[in-house]
């Protein structure tokens, strides 16, 4: 049995109003109209994306992987399409000092079997020296292919921190698309799920109703009502979000041998 709409005896501060099922369904149906329009607009944008021009470049340029230098063409693994994530790198930093934002993307792409089934290969490139990169990849337990593109120019190397798409026609290689900023978010399915919840991502930029729990500075436990901005980037061993020297990118606490440390190796910043 549901309660009557806006019954003052059932109202809970900092939470959605309590209504009966019919009232909820009406509000849900109203939002569904907007959601469907958003989906169709996304389809239209994707159609426009497929019509972008492309840029040809030398696919024989060498990148470095576990088997030494290989031509960029090898990343296609014989397929015609390739998606690459460009992972930022901090030279000489310990594992816990590597990029937290890039970790969210790489971790959500631990397995690319569905891309492969569609005929699309996936790889991660970074500017780190291969020996450092190989150690990091082993520690994280990544199974997708990684390569060093140190000193390699765009569109294979260059700026890091975003997704790029490539097309192959025999030995000819073309850049077709790249993301910027929040364009990486489709990879991170966790964010999409959080967008469905009453409190969302718990980030400071979100438009929330008055009285909703705020996103305070780092220091509150993850999952509690004080989850801070960028809580999904870095926490300490107790799950407390922190940019301090005891923090690691969140997935690292699940890795064998990950222990509390006292050195970050670099200062992270929330973007």
Name 4's bridge partners.
none
pLDDT score at 222 = 44
Name 148's bridge partners.
64, 126
Instruction: For residue range 75-102, list pLDDT tens digits in order.
Output: 999 999 999 999 999 999 999 999 999 9
**Rounded mean pLDDT of 168-176?**
98
Residue 24 maps to a domain: no
Same structural domain, 109 and 195: no
Q: Which domain holds residue 116?
A: 55-184
Task: Look up tokens 């005896």; give the residue.
Answer: 9
Where a domain ends, among 139, 163, 184? 184
**Strand, helix or coil at 71?**
strand
pLDDT score at 264 = 67
Residue 157 maps to a domain: yes
Q: Into how many domains does the chain fold?
A: 2
62 has a pLDDT exceeding 80: yes
Same structural domain, 163 and 219: no
Same structural domain, 157 and 142: yes
Same structural domain, 138 and 95: yes
Same structural domain, 80 and 163: yes
Residue 93 maps to a domain: yes
- How far does CA 131 lie from the centroid of its chain? 24
- Does the global pTM surpass 0.85? yes
Same structural domain, 81 and 180: yes
């Amino acid at each position: 049995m549901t309660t009557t709409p806006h019954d003052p005896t059932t109202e809970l501060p900092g939470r959605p109003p309590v209504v009966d099922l019919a009232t909820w369904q009406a509000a849900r149906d109203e939002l569904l109209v907007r959601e469907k329009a958003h989906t169709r607009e996304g389809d239209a944008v994707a159609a426009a994306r497929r019509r972008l021009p492309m840029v040809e470049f030398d696919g024989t340029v060498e990148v470095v992987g576990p088997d030494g230098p290989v031509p960029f063409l090898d990343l296609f693994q014989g397929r015609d399409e390739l998606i690459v994530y460009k992972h930022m790198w901090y030279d000489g930093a310990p594992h816990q000092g590597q990029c937290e934002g890039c970790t969210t993307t790489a971790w959500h792409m631990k397995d690319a079997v569905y891309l492969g089934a569609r005929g699309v290969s996936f790889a991660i490139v970074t500017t780190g020296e291969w020996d450092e990169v190989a150690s990091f990849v082993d520690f994280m337990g990544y199974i997708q292919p990684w390569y060093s593109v140190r000193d390699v120019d765009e569109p294979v190397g260059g700026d890091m921190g975003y997704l790029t798409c490539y097309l192959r026609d025999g030995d000819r290689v073309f850049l077709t698309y790249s993301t910027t900023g929040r364009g990486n978010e489709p990879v991170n399915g966790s964010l999409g799920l959080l967008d469905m919840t009453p409190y969302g991502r718990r980030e400071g930029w979100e438009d929330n109703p008055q009285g909703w729990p705020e996103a305070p500075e780092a220091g509150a436990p993850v999952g509690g009502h004080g989850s801070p901005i960028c809580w999904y980037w870095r926490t300490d061993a107790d799950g407390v979000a922190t940019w301090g020297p005891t923090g690691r990118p969140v997935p690292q606490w699940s890795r064998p041998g990950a222990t509390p440390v006292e050195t970050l190796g670099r200062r992270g910043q929330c973007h």
